[in-house]
Amino acid sequence: MNRKINLDELHKVESSSVIPLARQGSEMVQGIIKVTNADYVPECVRLRASMSPHIFTAEFKHGDLAALESDPKVESVSISKKLQSTT
């Protein structure tokens, strides 16, 4: 999926997460995903670690945000930000 993502259409992506979205659709991003069904993992993500049956960290393509947005079992997506080192 290589269409440009309209941030106004992404209601499940936390607003503080939109800064890292200036990327190519095929680039991998990491985030925290909250789902409605216990132990549900969307097909487009690679599970990294479970924090609870409903919350987990995952890796997915930036271009898969639209699929996560339209998935009724996904409550929210918080994209991880790279932190700058102060040393």
**Domains of the chain, residue spans:** 7-79
This prediction's pTM? 0.72
45 neighbors 33 (Cβ within 8 angstroms):
yes
- Which residue from 19, 24, 45 is spatially nearest to 34, judged by alpha carbons? 45
- As its CATH architecture, domain 7-79 has 2-Layer Sandwich (3.30)
Q: What does the pLDDT read at residue 84?
A: 61
Q: What does the pLDDT read at residue 15?
A: 47
Beta bridge partners of 55: 34
Mean pLDDT of the chain: 81
Spacing of C-alpha 19 from chain mean position: 13
